[in-house]
C-alpha cells in the first residue's frame, strides 16, 4: 500500500508538472512570437528612417543575421537583399507585403516555407523614392524554444521529482501508519479515518461471524472427538494421499500411537502389506475388508472411500475387535461337528443292532443284550439331545420365568436320583447344609447340582466319598461339591467347561459322559449371575464351588 500511494503521488506530481510546463511553454511561445513581430516593426521603422537619411550607403553597413533586409523596386525587381544575391532573386511584385506597401505605404504578411521548414514574418514600408523596404525575420520554432529551455526544464523536473519523492514518501507513511496501528480485535474502536467506517463496520461484522463459525467448528470438532473417542471401534480418517487426518482413542491404542500420528503417512504407522493393498483397493472405489491379529486379539478392518461429487476425498478405516465373535464362530463350527459325531455314534450302534436282529443273525440268548444296547444308546441320544436343547436355550439367554427355589431341597432330590449310581460305584455321598432359597430356574439349578454330583461320582474310585456342602455366606449361597477322585490336571482346568471337552475321551465315554455337563453348569451358573471356582489335584480329588 505504501508503494502504491508513493507511486500515485509521484505519477500525479509528474503529470501536473509536465502539463504545467507544456502550458507555460505554449504561452511563452505565443508571447515570444508577438514580441518578434513588434520588434520587427520597430526595427523596420528605424531601418527605413536610416535609409531615407543615408541612402544606399546604409545597405553596405547593414549586418544582421537575425533580420533579413530586402529592397524592392516599384516594378518588383529586387535591388538589394542582405542574405542573397539580389540579381538571382525573382520578381517580388506578387509578394503580399510588397503589393500592400506599394498600395497603402505599409504591408505585412507571414508565410510558411516548406523548403526552409519554418514561418517567416515580413514587414514592408514604401520609401519616398517609390522603392519598398522589407524587413523579415524567421519565426522561432518550438524545437528551438524547447532546446533553449531544456536545461531549465530538466532542472525543474529533477528538483520537482526529488521534492515529490520526499513528500510522497512521508505522506504514504503517514497515511499507512494509522492503518498499521489498527487494533484488529477491536476494529470498531478505530476512528482514525472516518471514511473507513463503513468498511470497518463490514469487516467487524464479518470478524464476528467468522469468530462464531470458528467457535461452532471447534465445538463440532470436540463433539466429533468425544463421540469417536467413546467408540469401542477404531476409526481412522485418511486423506487421499494416505495422511492421517483423524484417529480416535481406540485406533490409537490398537496401532500403538499417540496424537502425533495425525499428519503422518498411515503406512508409516501400519506397515502391513495387506493393509496397504486394502487402502489401495478402497481408493479405487472398491469396498475392502481384512482380518488380522493384533496383540493376541482378532480384528476386522473395513476400508471405505469417502467421496464428494464423484471425487475421492479420502479413506475411512474402521476396526472391530471380533475376538469373541471369531471364538463363537469357531465354537459353533466345532460344536456342530461334535454334535454330528456324538449323534452318529449311538445311531450307528442302534442301526447295527437293529439290522442284526432284523436278519435273525443274533442268537436267541443274545437278543436281550442287543435290545438293551438299543435302549441304552437311544436313552443316551435322548439325554444328549436334552442337553443340547438346554444349552441352546441358555445360549438364547431369554428371560425365563423364575421362582423361589430351595437349593437344599434340590440337592436332596439330586442325591436321591444318583443314589443307585453311587451305590453301583460304591461311592458314599454326604450332604452338609441348610435351606438356601434363591430366585431362579428350578430346572437349571437342578442341572447344575446334578452334573457336578454326577461327575464327582463318575470320576471317583470305589470306596471314596463325595461331599456336598451348601451354606449361606455374606449374603451369597455357596455350593461346593468335593470328591476324592482322579483329579484334573491344571492345563485342563480352564477347558473342561467347553462343550464336548473331555480330559480323557475314552474314560469319559466308558463312564457314560457326554462332554456337555460342565458346559451346561457354566451357562446355567452364568444365567443366575453366579461364579464358579475349581480346585483340583491329580489323584487327590476335585472341589467345584459355585457362588450365587
The binding site for ligand ADP (CB under 6 A) comprises 451, 455-456, 459, 483, 485-486, 488, 496, 501-504, 508, 513-519, 542
The radius of gyration computed from the CA coordinates of the chain, to the nearest angstrom, equals 63
| Closer of 174 and 531 to ligand ADP (Cβ) | 531
Q: With beta carbons less than 8 A apart as the criterion, state whether 548 and 439 touch.
A: no
What DSSP character marks residue 243? B
Query: Which residues 6+ apart lie within 8 Å of 375 measured at CB?
Result: none
CA pair distance 308, 316, nearest whole angstrom = 14
Using N-to-C axis directions, what is the helix angle for 517-527 and 442-458, rounded to 10°? 140
| Closer of 92 and 514 to ligand ADP (Cβ) | 514
| Closer of 31 and 505 to ligand ADP (Cβ) | 505
| Closer of 274 and 537 to ligand ADP (Cβ) | 537
| Closer of 237 and 544 to ligand ADP (Cβ) | 544
Q: With beta carbons less than 8 A apart as the criterion, state whether 428 and 402 touch.
A: no
Residue in 300, 303, 298 with CA at minimum distance from that of residue 316: 303
- The terminus-to-terminus CA distance of the chain in angstroms comes to 84
Query: 304: which strand partners?
Result: 316
Ranges of beta strands (E only) in 61-131 are 67-72, 78-81, 106-113, 118-126
- Minimum gap (Å) between residue 495 Cβ and ligand ADP: 8
- Minimum gap (Å) between residue 257 Cβ and ligand ADP: 44
The x, y and z cell numbers of residue 507, run together, are 474314560
| Closer of 410 and 544 to ligand ADP (Cβ) | 544
Residue in 410, 425, 424, 423 with CA at minimum distance from that of residue 481: 410
CA pair distance 507, 505, nearest whole angstrom = 6
Residue in 437, 395, 421, 412 with CA at minimum distance from that of residue 522: 395
- Three-state DSSP class for 483? strand
- Minimum gap (Å) between residue 448 Cβ and ligand ADP: 11
| Closer of 107 and 487 to ligand ADP (Cβ) | 487
| Closer of 319 and 523 to ligand ADP (Cβ) | 523
- Minimum gap (Å) between residue 485 Cβ and ligand ADP: 5
- Minimum gap (Å) between residue 288 Cβ and ligand ADP: 42
- Minimum gap (Å) between residue 455 Cβ and ligand ADP: 3
Helix ranges, 266-307 (H): 266-269, 273-283
- Minimum gap (Å) between residue 328 Cβ and ligand ADP: 19
- Minimum gap (Å) between residue 463 Cβ and ligand ADP: 16
Amino acid at each position: 500500500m505504501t508503494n502504491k500511494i508513493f507511486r500515485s503521488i509521484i505519477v500525479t506530481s509528474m503529470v501536473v508538472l509536465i502539463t504545467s510546463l507544456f502550458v507555460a511553454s505554449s504561452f511563452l511561445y505565443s508571447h515570444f512570437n508577438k514580441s518578434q513581430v513588434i520588434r520587427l516593426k520597430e526595427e523596420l521603422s528605424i531601418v527605413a528612417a536610416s535609409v531615407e537619411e543615408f541612402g544606399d550607403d546604409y545597405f553596405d553597413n547593414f549586418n544582421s543575421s537575425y533580420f533579413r533586409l530586402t529592397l524592392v523596386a516599384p516594378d518588383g525587381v529586387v535591388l538589394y537583399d542582405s542574405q542573397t544575391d539580389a540579381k538571382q532573386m525573382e520578381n517580388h511584385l506578387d509578394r503580399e507585403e510588397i503589393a500592400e506597401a506599394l498600395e497603402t505605404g505599409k504591408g505585412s504578411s507571414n508565410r510558411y516555407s516548406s523548403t526552409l521548414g519554418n514561418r517567416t514574418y515580413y514587414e514592408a514600408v514604401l520609401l519616398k523614392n517609390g522603392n519598398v523596404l522589407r524587413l523579415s525575420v524567421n519565426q522561432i520554432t518550438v524545437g528551438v524554444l524547447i532546446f533553449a529551455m531544456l536545461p531549465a526544464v530538466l532542472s525543474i523536473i529533477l528538483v520537482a521529482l526529488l521534492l515529490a519523492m520526499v513528500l510522497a514518501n512521508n505522506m504514504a507513511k503517514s497515511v499507512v501508519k494509522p492503518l498499521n496501528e489498527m487494533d484488529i480485535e477491536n476494529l470498531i474502536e478505530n476512528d482514525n479515518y472516518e471514511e473507513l467506517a463503513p468498511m470497518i463496520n463490514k469487516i467487524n461484522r464479518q470478524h464476528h461471524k467468522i469468530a462464531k463459525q470458528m467457535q461452532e467448528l471447534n465445538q463440532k470438532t470436540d463433539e466429533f472427538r468425544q463421540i469417536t473417542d467413546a467408540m469401542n471401534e477404531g476409526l481412522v480418517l485418511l486423506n487421499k494421499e494416505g495422511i492421517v487426518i483423524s484417529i480416535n482413542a481406540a485406533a490409537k491404542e490398537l496401532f500403538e500411537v499417540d496424537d502425533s500420528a495425525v499428519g503422518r503417512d498411515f503406512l508409516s504407522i501400519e506397515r502391513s502389506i495387506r493393509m496397504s493393498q486394502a487402502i489401495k483397493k478402497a481408493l479405487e472405489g472398491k469396498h475392502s475388508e481384512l482380518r488380522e491379529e493384533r496383540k493376541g486379539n482378532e480384528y476386522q478392518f473395513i476400508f471405505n472411500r469417502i467421496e464428494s461429487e464423484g471425487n475421492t476425498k479420502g479413506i475411512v478405516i474402521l476396526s472391530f475387535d471380533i475376538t469373541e465373535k471369531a471364538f463363537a464362530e469357531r465354537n459353533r463350527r466345532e460344536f456342530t461337528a461334535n454334535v454330528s459325531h456324538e449323534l452318529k455314534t449311538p445311531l450307528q450302534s442302534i442301526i447295527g443292532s437293529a439290522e442284526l436282529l432284523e436278519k435273525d443273525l443274533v442268537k436267541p440268548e443274545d437278543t436281550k443284550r442287543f435290545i438293551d444296547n438299543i435302549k441304552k444308546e437311544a436313552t443316551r441320544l435322548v439325554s444328549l439331545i436334552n442337553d443340547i436343547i438346554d444349552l441352546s436355550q441358555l445360549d438364547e439367554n431369554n428371560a425365563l420365568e423364575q421362582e423361589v427355589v430351595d437349593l437344599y431341597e434340590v440337592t436332596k432330590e439330586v442325591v436321591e436320583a444318583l443314589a443307585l449310581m453311587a451305590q453301583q460305584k460304591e461311592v458314599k455321598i454326604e450332604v452338609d447344609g441348610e435351606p438356601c432359597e434363591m430366585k431362579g430356574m428350578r430346572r437349571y439349578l437342578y442341572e447344575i447340582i446334578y452334573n457336578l454330583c454326577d461327575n464327582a461320582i463318575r470320576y471317583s474310585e470305589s470306596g471314596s466319598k463325595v461331599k456336598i456342602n451348601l451354606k449361606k455366606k455374606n449374603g451369597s449361597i455357596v455350593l461346593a461339591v468335593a470328591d476324592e477322585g482322579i483329579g484334573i490336571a491344571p492345563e485342563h482346568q480352564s477347558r473342561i467347561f467347553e462343550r464336548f471337552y473331555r480330559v480323557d475321551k475314552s474314560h469319559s465315554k466308558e463312564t457314560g459322559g457326554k462332554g456337555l455337563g460342565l458346559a451346561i453348569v457354566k451357562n446355567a451358573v452364568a444365567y443366575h449371575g453366579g461364579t464358579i471356582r475349581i480346585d483340583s489335584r491329580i489323584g487327590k480329588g476335585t472341589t467345584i464351588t459355585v457362588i450365587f
